[in-house]
Structure 1
Amino acid sequence: MLTRLAYRIRHQLERYFPEQRLFLKSDTETRFIRLRPGTQVVAVVGGTLALAWTIVATALIMMDSIGAGSAREQSVRQQALYETRLNALSSDRDLRAEEAARAQERFNTALEQVSDMQERLLASEDRRRELETGIDVIQDTLRRTIKERDVARLEVDRTTLALNEQVGGSTELGRVADTVATLEILTGALGATAEERDEVLGQAEDAREETREIAAEKRDLELRNDAIFAKLEEAVTISMEPLDKMFREAGMSPDDLLNAVREGYSGQGGPLTPISVSTSGGKLTPEEVRANVILGGLDRMNLYRIAADKTPFAMPVKDSFRWTSGFGYRKDPKGYGNRMHEGTDMAGAVGTAIYATADGVVSYADWDNGYGRLVKIQHEFGIETRYGHLSQIRVDVGQRVSRGDRIGDMGNSGRSTGTHLHYEVRLSGTAVNPMTFIKAGKNVF
């Protein structure tokens, strides 16, 4: 049965693959190789499989190549989109900084207006008191004059009675002449007294009118002061919120920072000291209380500004760059397994300017095996920043720098695979994520 099946299979194969002979002739003999149908089938199947494998491999290689090109194009598009977003954030940051500067100017202008109005209010108060004193003096003079007039009338009556009762020593005509002369003198004195009284009454009425005008002007000043105080209180409140939020997002206590700054800047006096009253032991008016509250808010904002200048909220690179590695565990670029990366990397062109992110003192500016050319800056509140892999160092140890001062150039020194800046922030010697400070300050600076 098996022989018959094999025969049929071989017969069918011979119809499509007849037996072939390959002759090999040499100088001495001739040989041939017999190609049976089964051998031909195996050769055809093997060739077909090899061709199919070649086609599939070629297709896979082409698909990988096309996929790699698409990935590169997608990466380029994502990088362009990221750079556009960074530019927008930078523009928004500049706009907010400009708005903060304008708000500070408005604060200063409003403060000058409040001071001027306060001086005018105090001057008007002094003038009102002087007028009240003058009115009291005029009223006392008027009362004294009226009393003198009444006394003079009584004296005239007594003199007239005495002249009428007088007998002897003079003629009737002489007595009449003396009486008339006396009456004329008294009448003149009474007329002068009446004129002086009328003049004093007129002065008193003028003083009352001026007092009413001063009171109305005082009310107008109080209304204007109330409007200015309300705007200043609102502006101080609105401007304080982003500063509080910035320090809290950075993981720092605003109150502790302000207390530390206040201890270092504890001098008294200046435009932000509380308003003092001019009267000895007097009680503060509501306007003076509100002004002191506003000045306290402005003083807190000034302390915030000092603390912000000494805290690394700014960017160390202002030119175009690309984020290449963040803070945390990562695969070592030199192939030594997973290791902790204690900073963030920003890749850019060789020589890109590197700037100090806060006020401080340069504590190290030299070569370090891992960092290459390294700059360390010691800031207030136990904060230190590090700038590694520089191509050139532009500061010296002990030099005091401010935010935005150029301290070096981007390079590829030390343990590095390409041109970039390795930027670190350390709190009390412990490395923290620099992006915490950068993100916290992006809406303020």
Structure 2
Amino acid sequence: MLMRFAYRIHQTLERYFPEQRLFLKSDTETRFIRLRPGTQATAVVVGGLALAWTILATAILIFDSISAGSSREQVLRQQVLYEERMNTLSIDRDLRAEEAASAQERFNLALEQVATMQARLLASEDRRRELETGIDVIQNTLRRTILERDEARAELDSAALAAAPGGANTEAGRAQDTKDTLEFLASSLDGTARERDRIQGMADKAAEQIAKNAAERREIELRNDAIFIRLEEALTVSVEPLEKMFNAAGMDPDDLLETVRKGYDGQGGPLAPLSLSTKGVPSIEETRANAILAGLDRMNLYRLAAFKAPFDNPVKGRYRFTSGFGARQDPKGWGTRMHAGTDFAAAYGTPIHATADGVVTFVGWSSGYGRLIKVQHAFGIETRYAHLAQMRVSVGQKVSRGERIGDMGNSGRSTGTHLHYEVRIGGNAVNPMTFIKAATNVF
């Protein structure tokens, strides 16, 4: 039964693949190689499978390369847009700060004018009171003088009446004296009234000026409030993404700021706290201005901290992720092992960049890492760059974020060209993608 089935298969194959003979002739003899139908069919099937696998693998590699390039270009565009937005916000912040300072100067000038007018008004009020006091003294003196004069005339009249009868001349003299006294009092009171009216006019003008200054002060306060609102909104837009980035990376922003502040503890210049009140009690504008200055100082510290932590990507060109952080099957077939970093695959010699500011602590060969570079950063963070083809830094060298430190290679325990990138905090390995993804919408 099996022989008959094999015979039928052989007969079918002979229709499409007839037996072929390849003759090999030498000087002394002639030999031939017989290609059976089954052998030819097997060769065709194997060749077709090999061709199909080659096409499939090539398509997969092309798709990965295209997708990696598109993602990288998108990240670069987002980074350029964010930098432009940060520059625009910085320029707008400086303009608002200048407007706030100018408005505060105008406000201080208005306060000085109001204080001057108040001083003049108080001086006018004191002068008016002095004049009223002087008028009272004059009136009392006149009354006393008139009383004494009347008593003296009464005595004289009594003596004259005793000496000569009749009192017509005495009555006429008394009437004339009364008339003279009334004229003197009328002229004195008229002068006092004119002085009072003049002082009242000065007081009315001072009150009008005070009301005008108060209206200008309210306009300045409204303008300052609008400026403060715009500054506060711009500050919120700038600071919130940075805070979210640190929180997403599992880092306490307050601890980071305290660490950075220890390294940059100088203060002064435009960020020095304002003190505009002369009464020792800060005004509302002063409090808001100092809050904005504190926010700007906090944002600057955030930006310094962002450059000290590994929020950047070590590979800038086209690449693809080949292995993530965590447990995986060992590529050498040694079972399941812990993979303490993330692998980036790209062309041999692709530039490798530092992901944060730091100091190089190790450059050389290290067992399975191959050519290895270690960089120590702030906050107890260390980054490692392994399997390099070339190392471009030395121990003790300070590197900046984005600086080229080596080239991608295949050294050490590696199955192909790639970068093994690690992030360690306090010596313990953490997932590098936590930092890279946290900064996706920020840088």
Is 1:124 the counterpart of 2:110? The answer is yes
Kindly provide the amino acid, as one letter, of the partner of residue 278 in structure 2. Answer: T
Deviation at 1:255, TM superposition (A): 3.0
Q: Deviations over 1:248-281 (max 9, x none)?
A: 2212222332333344444554543444353354
Alignment of 1:331-342 (within 5 A): 331-334=329-332, 336-342=334-340
Is 1:75 the counterpart of 2:61? The answer is yes
Instruction: Give yes or no for contact 2:376–2:382 (8 Å, CA) kept in 1.
Output: yes
Q: Which has the higher contact order (CA 8 A, sep 6+)?
A: 2
Deviation at 1:91, TM superposition (A): 0.5
Instruction: Give yes or no for contact 2:277–2:283 (8 Å, CA) kept in 1.
Output: no
Alignment of 1:156-235 (within 5 A): 196-235=195-234
Q: Which residue pairs with 2:278 in the alignment?
A: 279
For 1:363 and 1:187, the matched residues in 2 are separated by 103
Deviation at 1:365, TM superposition (A): 2.3
Instruction: Give yes or no for contact 1:376–1:387 (8 Å, CA) kept in 2.
Output: yes
2:128 aligned to 109, 118, 142, which one? 142
Instruction: Give yes or no for contact 1:359–1:379 (8 Å, CA) kept in 2.
Output: yes
Kindly provide the amino acid, as one letter, of the partner of residue 247 in structure 2. Answer: R
Kindly provide the amino acid, as one letter, of the partner of residue 47 in structure 1. Answer: H
Instruction: Give yes or no for contact 2:370–2:413 (8 Å, CA) kept in 1.
Output: yes
Instruction: Give yes or no for contact 2:72–2:318 (8 Å, CA) kept in 1.
Output: no
For 2:429 and 2:201, the matched residues in 1 are separated by 83
Instruction: Give yes or no for contact 1:377–1:386 (8 Å, CA) kept in 2.
Output: yes
For 1:303 and 1:86, the matched residues in 2 are separated by 28
Q: Which residue pairs with 2:379 in the alignment?
A: 381
Q: Deviations over 1:269-307 (max 9, x none)?
A: 45434443533543x333333333333333332232222
Instruction: Give yes or no for contact 2:68–2:319 (8 Å, CA) kept in 1.
Output: no
Question: Match of 2:387, SS?
Answer: strand
Quickly say closer, same or farther: Cα 1:336–1:120, change in 2 above 3 A. Answer: same
Alignment of 1:300-315 (within 5 A): 300-315=298-313
Q: Deviations over 1:297-346 (max 9, x none)?
A: 33332232222121100122223333333333444445555443322233
Q: Which residue pairs with 1:47 in the alignment?
A: 10
Quickly say closer, same or farther: Cα 1:319–1:193, change in 2 above 3 A. Answer: farther
Quickly say closer, same or farther: Cα 1:144–1:409, change in 2 above 3 A. Answer: same
For 1:406 and 1:192, the matched residues in 2 are separated by 93
For 1:248 and 1:344, the matched residues in 2 are separated by 21
For 1:47 and 1:411, the matched residues in 2 are separated by 52
More deviation, 92-101/414-423: 414-423
Question: Match of 2:271, SS?
Answer: coil
For 2:320 and 2:44, the matched residues in 1 are separated by 36
Alignment of 1:317-328 (within 5 A): 317-328=315-326
Quickly say closer, same or farther: Cα 1:317–1:187, change in 2 above 3 A. Answer: farther
Instruction: Give yes or no for contact 1:152–1:186 (8 Å, CA) kept in 2.
Output: no
Instruction: Give yes or no for contact 1:163–1:179 (8 Å, CA) kept in 2.
Output: no
For 2:44 and 2:390, the matched residues in 1 are separated by 50
For 2:333 and 2:404, the matched residues in 1 are separated by 33
Question: Match of 1:316, SS?
Answer: coil
Quickly say closer, same or farther: Cα 1:74–1:376, change in 2 above 3 A. Answer: closer
Is 1:353 the counterpart of 2:351? The answer is yes
For 2:337 and 2:148, the matched residues in 1 are separated by 128
For 2:223 and 2:82, the matched residues in 1 are separated by 29
Question: Match of 2:309, SS?
Answer: coil
| RMSD of aligned alpha carbons | 3.9
Deviation at 1:368, TM superposition (A): 2.8
Quickly say closer, same or farther: Cα 1:205–1:85, change in 2 above 3 A. Answer: same
Question: Match of 1:345, SS?
Answer: strand
Quickly say closer, same or farther: Cα 1:418–1:56, change in 2 above 3 A. Answer: closer
Deviation at 1:81, TM superposition (A): 2.7
Q: Which residue pairs with 1:108 in the alignment?
A: 94
Q: Which residue pairs with 2:296 in the alignment?
A: 298
Q: Deviations over 1:152-207 (max 9, x none)?
A: 46656777888897789xxxxxxxxx999999999998777666544433332322
Q: Which residue pairs with 2:19 in the alignment?
A: none
Instruction: Give yes or no for contact 2:68–2:320 (8 Å, CA) kept in 1.
Output: no
For 1:42 and 1:297, the matched residues in 2 are separated by 88
Kindly provide the amino acid, as one letter, of the partner of residue 375 in structure 2. Answer: I
Q: Deviations over 1:82-113 (max 9, x none)?
A: 31122112201221232123223322332332
2:72 aligned to 86, 89, 98, which one? 86
Instruction: Give yes or no for contact 1:156–1:183 (8 Å, CA) kept in 2.
Output: no
TM-score for the superposition, normalised by structure 1: 0.75
Deviation at 1:387, TM superposition (A): 1.8
Q: Which residue pairs with 1:362 in the alignment?
A: 360
Give the share of equivalent positions with the same residue, in percent.
Answer: 49
Quickly say closer, same or farther: Cα 1:181–1:321, change in 2 above 3 A. Answer: farther
1:95 aligned to 75, 81, 95, which one? 81
For 1:391 and 1:218, the matched residues in 2 are separated by 69
More deviation, 348-357/220-229: 348-357
For 1:248 and 1:441, the matched residues in 2 are separated by 11
Q: Which residue pairs with 1:424 in the alignment?
A: 422
Q: Which residue pairs with 2:239 in the alignment?
A: 240
Deviation at 1:425, TM superposition (A): 0.9
Deviation at 1:383, TM superposition (A): 0.4
Q: Which residue pairs with 1:171 in the alignment?
A: none
Question: Match of 1:370, SS?
Answer: helix
Instruction: Give yes or no for contact 1:383–1:427 (8 Å, CA) kept in 2.
Output: yes
Question: Match of 2:131, SS?
Answer: helix
